[in-house]
Chains A and B, each alone.
Chain A
Amino acid sequence: MIEVRDLVKKYGSHRAVDGVTFSVARGELFGLLGPNGAGKTTTIGVLSTLLRADGGQVRIGGHDVAAGAKEVRRLIGVVPQEIALYTDLTARDNLMFWGRLHGLGGAALSRRVEELLVMADLADQARRKVETFSGGMQRRLNLVAGLIHEPEVLFLDEPTVGIDAQARSRILELIARLGQQGLTVIYTTHYLEEAEQLCDRIGVIDRGRLVALGDKESLISQVGDADMIRLSLPADRLDAFHAACGGWTGCTGVGERRGKVEVRTPDGGRLLPVIQDWLRANDLPLEQLEIERPNLETLYLNLTGRGLREEAS
């Protein structure tokens, strides 16, 4: 359904998207994962015909996005990161406007608007101005506004930014339902758990480059079976800890991040007692010792040397 080949988008000399290649099958829920400024929104901008690529090729539904922009726009729906709604109008007026913009009218438009209000669980709030809605309600309306013309492909650009956990979970449920209905979705986020929960396949993007691509399991397997053990140590004990690590079986690497020591090991369960013994022997507290199983965070860390959340913040 979507083919992206060697996509390049430059702003002056800065390459915001640098040779990105991926494809998305019809009905697939594809996650584009990366921190702020990684190039996700720019990629969506090119895919949705708003931005012109400086290189590469993008085809959606068989149409080139540059040459066949009008055809592509009929196929796609876009849900921007911002609440792209008229907050001074009611929920229904908003949907009516976006519907008319896409050529709908009369009974068909009214029916579609009612469907979407129900889908967003806002049917009883339809006559309220959007500015009176909670963040979660606005997000849901923002999402369904992108569906008004029943697109085949939906681009969701960080649709859960700035809302609480409960509202987020409702949005994710809604997206999962859309995926089940056969809609092709490209979902950009910097929340790992969302990508893990929703997406069939994930592309990890960093500084404009696609650094990993595959399903969740295959991506995690790229990290290997490495567990991560984190602990806090006084600065004067760091050298001693490094020296000790060199002698322990199963310790494959030691690093430091955000004031914590990180020890990589194929089997955290075996190495953990050894570290605890060393801490006791050196009269150091055990409280701040934690173990983390391999996940997309560790993958990202492995690929870029930085944490996703760290970048996002």
Chain B
Amino acid sequence: MTRVWIFAQRDLRRMAADRRALIVNLALPLVLTAVMGLSFGGGVFGKKGISAIPVAIVAEGVPEAMQTRFLDGLKKSGFFAPVWADSLEADTMVRSGKVAAALVLPPDPLTAFFQADSLVIQVWRDPSSEIKAGIVEEIVSRGVLRVQAGEGAFRALWPGDYAAIGADSVGFAALLKGNPVDIWNRLRGPENAGTREEAVDFIVRQIDHEVALQRALQGSAAGLAVADKAPTGEKKQRETSLFDYFLPSFAVFFLMFAVAAGARDLHRERARRTLQRQLLGPGSAWPIVMGKWVASVVQGLVMLSVLLGAGALLFRVNLGPDPWTLPLVILLTCTAAAGFFLALALLVTREKVLDNLCTAVILISGMIGGNFLPVDNLPAWASSAGHYVFNYWANLAFSRVIGDNLSLTAITTPVTVLACASLALLVVILTLFNARVKRGGWA
């Protein structure tokens, strides 16, 4: 492996020294990323990273003036595009994907609020709109938690208020203590002076107060219930952000050009006779081509990481649900790409032929592999043909991780295909290279 690294290190040094290649492979994609990000994503340059989320509000029994104020408040926040609906309409809207979620308040929420009844808010989610519905749920959940926390704090600060104490400063339990004569005398006592009617009123008032307090303390002041609403009617498009799709697909597209240039270098080395000079070194020949493969993979890793990293920093592109799924997809994409273009280089004998072949292959595989159009939107024939090019599986994996926030377990097919292709292509390039060395084809 030391020899492999000697060859790889040399290529990496050369890549780092080649300013033109750095511009083409890194600066250009970064500029393109910025342009795309500004067009589709916004990010830190002023626009919001995500468009306003359509939400249906169901709150039957709320006065119209209050509805308007509530809707205006939500709109002003910039996060939501709310619409008022009854529960039936809201259900239909969620299921059809017209709104990401519905916020359902109990009937006559104001009365419940002022009676200190527990206020359970429901969130109906569109399961296909994970991110946006998730945001709604998170915001509502935080609001409910605040109410619950406030109540908890209130109880902690004024525990006396929660004891069974009357509003008129006489403890209800103390008032009713003893036998009926004592109770009567206590009620007729100097501190409770008044008519018998006043005494009855006082007792009734105390009972009402006690009952209301007990009822309020039976449950939380506010609660949250979340329900996913299965889609109805025709299949709704998966929620995608154009930038989430275009960033990785353009990165893969540029990666193909960069790796193809690395593969062409094999022919350039032959023409310059540095390849023959390496073949004259001690040891086996395979580390020479393996070193090129490693260098291409490292180059690809740097390129994709920089581009996706820049996308995440500048335009809040999602980097997946965990720290390992996206890096694994990046690695497998690079290994497959390096193997694919080196195999092409070993199949042709002249650099010029390889040049033309690479350009044609990149454009065609870009078209059928989902680099110009999201893999989910490809026509059926292109999608079928795309199964035979590595970038289709790479784009599919990126799209699932970045666009849908899926983890490794949910993208086993593209990951397995990329891993198998990488391994198979590596075997192919080592075999082809050694065969050519044996027959003196590099001399």
Contact = CB atoms under 8 A, between A and B. Distances in A.
A89 B18 CA distance: 9
Interface string A72-95: 011010101111111011000100
B283 to A, nearest CB: 8
Given A84-B273, A97-B10, A129 B443 contact: no
Contacts of A300: none
A86 B14 contact: yes
Contact of A48 (B13, B280, B282, B439): B280
A74 B283 CA distance: 10
A101 B278 contact: yes
Given A50-B440, A98-B277, 19 more contacts: A50-B276, A51-B440, A52-B439, A73-B282, A76-B280, A78-B277, A78-B280, A80-B276, A80-B277, A82-B273, A84-B274, A85-B272, A86-B14, A88-B17, A89-B14, A89-B17, A100-B6, A102-B281, A129-B17
Contacts of A85: 272, 274
A182 to B, nearest CB: 22
A84 B282 contact: no
19 contacts: A50-B279, A50-B280, A51-B443, A52-B439, A70-B283, A78-B276, A80-B273, A80-B276, A84-B277, A85-B272, A86-B14, A86-B274, A88-B18, A89-B10, A89-B14, A93-B13, A101-B6, A102-B281, A103-B282
A83 B272 contact: yes
A93 to B, nearest CB: 7
Interface in B240-270: none
A213 B440 CA distance: 28
Contacts of A307: none
Interface of B: 3, 6, 10, 13-14, 17-18, 271-274, 276-283, 439-440, 442-443
B345 to A, nearest CB: 18
Contact of A84 (B14, B272, B440): B272
Nearest to B287: A101
**Quick one: which of A73, A78, A100 has the most chain B CB within 10 A?**
A100
A265 interface: no
A214 interface: no
B291 to A, nearest CB: 10
Nearest to B11: A86
A98 B282 CA distance: 11
A81 B443 CA distance: 13
B118 to A, nearest CB: 74
A161 to B, nearest CB: 13
Contacts of A80: 273, 276-277
By Cβ-Cβ distance, the 5 closest A-B pairs, closest first, are A84-B273, A50-B443, A80-B273, A101-B281, A82-B273
Interface string A143-184: 001000000000000000000000000000000000000000
* Most chain A C-beta atoms within 10 Å of own C-beta, residue among B6, B13, B273: B273
Contact of B280 (A73, A89, A93): A73
Contacts of A51: 440, 443
A45 interface: yes
A70 to B, nearest CB: 6
Contacts of A103: 282
Interface string A112-130: 0000000000000000010
Contacts of A76: 280
A88 B3 CA distance: 21
B276 A89 contact: no
A130 B271 CA distance: 17
B272 A82 contact: yes
Nearest to A71: B282
A49 interface: yes
Contacts of A49: 280
A100 B9 CA distance: 11
B269 to A, nearest CB: 9
A78 B275 CA distance: 12
Give the interface centre of A50, A73, A74, A83 by most chain B CB atoms within 10 Å. Answer: A50
A81 B272 CA distance: 10
Contacts of A84: 272-274, 276-277
Contacts of A93: 13
Most buried by B among A70, A76, A101, A103: A101
A70 B14 CA distance: 28
A84 B280 CA distance: 12
A52 B274 CA distance: 19
Contacts of B274: 84-86
A52 B438 CA distance: 8
B289 to A, nearest CB: 14
A81 B273 CA distance: 9
A188 to B, nearest CB: 14
Contacts of B440: 45, 50-52
Contacts of A88: 14, 17-18
Residue of B17, B273, B280 with most partner-chain A CB within 10 A: B280
Contacts of B13: 89, 93
B273 A70 contact: no
Contacts of B281: 73, 101-102
B282 A102 contact: yes
A73 B437 CA distance: 15
Contacts of A82: 271-273
A49 B438 CA distance: 10
A159 B228 CA distance: 78
A81 B271 CA distance: 11
Interface string A95-109: 001101111000000
B276 A70 contact: no
B241 to A, nearest CB: 40
A301 to B, nearest CB: 31
Given A52-B439, A52-B440, A80-B273, A86 B10 contact: yes
Nearest to B17: A88
Contacts of A78: 276-277, 280
Contacts of B273: 80-82, 84
A52 B421 CA distance: 34
A265 B89 CA distance: 118
A81 B274 CA distance: 11
A85 B278 CA distance: 11
Contacts of B17: 88-89, 129
A51 B273 CA distance: 14
Contacts of A101: 3, 6, 278, 281
A97 B277 contact: no
Contacts of B18: 88
B363 to A, nearest CB: 28
A149 to B, nearest CB: 8
A48 B273 CA distance: 13
